[in-house]
Amino acid sequence: MYNLETKVFYCQIDSCRAIKEYQKKGLCVRLLAVEEQFFSAQALERKEGVEVISIEVSYWAFLERLDGAGRVPAKAERDKFDLLDDSVRERSRWYRLEVDWNTKTRHGYAYPTFSEEKPRYFELVSCRTESQTISLGPAPLFNQEVMKLPLSHDTGISTSNASPWTLSAFHVGQGMCSIVSDGKQALLLDIGAGTPVTRPLYQEGKITNELAQVIEGIKTIDLILSHADQDHWRILAWDAELRKKIRHIFVPENAKSLAYKDPAIKFDIKEIQRLHIVLSTNSWLDVYRSQPKRDDDNGQCLVTVFESAGKRALIAGDYVYSRFPSDTNKDVADLQNQDFDAVVVPHHGDAESAHRIVKARQGAIAFFSAGNHRKFLHPTQISRDNHKKEKYTEICNNNCPDVRRVTLI
């Protein structure tokens, strides 16, 4: 746990318009932070890592105090602020937050990100944009472009008698999580969640958790993380037992996050540009690092294609179809010319995901992974309608309160 006397944190924004996990689920700014004593290039890159703190603070209190504003800005200014978390440059900006733990006013709360500790509440005293620029260093580069599973020295299992590999997606609210597994081994494709699936409900066991059931007998899991937004990895932070199973966490080359510096996952992080994962003689994963025309947060990502026994699925995180053709990675660009038996609809079915939808094979499934966030309103009706027009069968349950499994292939 961070020092109880800590009153100053240095933070980076994860989401400008999130929903609080606690405190009646009000609108908040979600940040990742370190204590003041660790705010230096040397401390952030130290070998043993640095504890990363999650902070959720009232959206209104944050904006009222930001750089001494003294008032909540007009809607036009707020709309501009709301878009900051789309920008790679703005997400790398640091903010200095000063808090007071000893008042009755509760603007927000903090807790160690990779923990089961209860939140500690505070009053936000001040908030300012930090003039000092500290860039985060990269994680180690994975030195293979082809990886074969199973690895005999890890599992002792031979591919000759392996069970069929399947792809399942999970309803996790405003997040994304899928799994490729043969029942004995598994790879996770994102492991995020969001409203109505929340940290307290998950950690207190108040929801049905079919992900936990699926991985119960699996000893070693690799995670392919499409990008660094928390709604794509938050279950990893919530679940200590799951973290014990993780061997590698593959992330896009040169796409950085403060979360990667926490010792709970720091030593598992591996950057990749391209990775072909052989699962069996007729099952594999291809993972491509995007090279987007527009440099934004959602565009700095990994796009995954799963193939098994002649069936093919696309899992692209928040990278929408219409961006494929202009991507300078030819493998990503070529996805627009392929057809699929299943897709996890990009970016939770937002309006952009309604365009240039990849071709559906007969009986293809479109899985919408979205929650009930009252600001985002995902999935959009146009995305749902257009996937149906392209002959996809829709699976959508954005009010599902549990972590529920749906087999796609």
User: Do residues 357 and 230 both lie within one domain?
Assistant: yes
Strand 404-407's sheet: what is its strand order? 269-272, 246-252, 221-224, 186-191, 177-181, 166-171, 404-407
User: Do residues 98 and 38 both lie within one domain?
Assistant: yes
The last residue of a domain, from among 100, 129, 158: 129
Cα distance between residue 359 and residue 391, in whole Å: 9
User: Do residues 91 and 196 both lie within one domain?
Assistant: no
- At residue 155, the pLDDT reads 40
The last residue of a domain, from among 96, 129, 162: 129
User: Do residues 229 and 171 both lie within one domain?
Assistant: yes
The last residue of a domain, from among 68, 96, 129: 129
pLDDT tens digits along 230-257: 999 999 999 999 999 999 999 999 999 9
Percent of the chain at pLDDT > 70 equals: 96
pLDDT tens digits along 14-32: 999 999 999 887 899 999 9
User: Do residues 119 and 157 both lie within one domain?
Assistant: no
Three-state DSSP at 323 gives: helix
User: Do residues 96 and 211 both lie within one domain?
Assistant: no
Give the residue among 342, 338, 305 at the shortest CA–CA distance from 169.
342
- At residue 163, the pLDDT reads 73
Question: Which residues are CB-contacts of 335 (< 8 A; sequence separation ≥ 6)?
Answer: 303, 305, 314, 316, 324, 358
Regarding predicted confidence, which is higher, 300 or 159?
A: 300
CATH code at position 309: 3.60.15.10
User: Do residues 279 and 378 both lie within one domain?
Assistant: yes
- At residue 6, the pLDDT reads 85
User: Do residues 184 and 329 both lie within one domain?
Assistant: yes
Residue 1 has pLDDT above 70, yes or no: no
User: Do residues 188 and 89 both lie within one domain?
Assistant: no
Domain of 19, in residue numbers: 8-129
Three-state DSSP at 241 gives: helix
Tell me whether residue 150 is in a domain.
yes
pTM over 0.85: yes
Tell me whether residue 224 is in a domain.
yes
Tell me whether residue 139 is in a domain.
no
User: Do residues 169 and 111 both lie within one domain?
Assistant: no
Rg of the chain over CA atoms, in angstroms? 21
Tell me whether residue 210 is in a domain.
yes
Tell me whether residue 365 is in a domain.
yes
pLDDT tens digits along 173-228: 999 999 999 999 999 999 999 999 999 999 999 999 999 999 998 999 999 999 99
Cα distance between residue 188 and residue 225, in whole Å: 8
Specify the number of domains making up the chain.
Answer: 2
User: Do residues 70 and 199 both lie within one domain?
Assistant: no
User: Do residues 403 and 267 both lie within one domain?
Assistant: yes
